Structure 1
């Protein structure tokens, strides 16, 4: 649940930034490898089903509980569109 969702989120974020860097530098081969590696790792049995990768966007299926922190909201890849309990 939570731990695997956090790991998948971190992996997706790292892959997204590596792909952005590679595209910015004109290294399309590296961008493609970064995406392929990210997709492959997210398919691993321990991470499969933790979220949905669409292009470079990741939407997790578990909650990281950030909304419970005072002043917190939803994280960038939150499974909620707004914090639970909000109107």
Structure 2
């Protein structure tokens, strides 16, 4: 039996928005970059270059931090 639970739906959407906001604030604190647009499940940032890799923050030692599917960060060497 499937039942419609608007309270559970609202709680899931609320939690998702809170987590997205936390990621935006954490990214802004680390890089100083703020989003240009925020949709329900993605964030759009402006980049200085034409490549998406120009946007990714670097730690200064050739390592770029990439958030993969919101599950965590993975290190990637910049060429």
The TM-score bracket by the shorter chain reads 0.3 to 0.5
Instruction: Tell me the TM-score normalized by structure 2.
Output: 0.37
Instruction: Tell me the TM-score normalized by structure 1.
Output: 0.34
Q: Flag the structure with higher strand content.
A: 2
Q: Flag the structure with higher helix content.
A: 1
Higher RCO (C-alpha under 8 Å, 6+ residues apart): 1
Task: Give 1 or 2 for the bigger CA radius of gyration.
Answer: 2
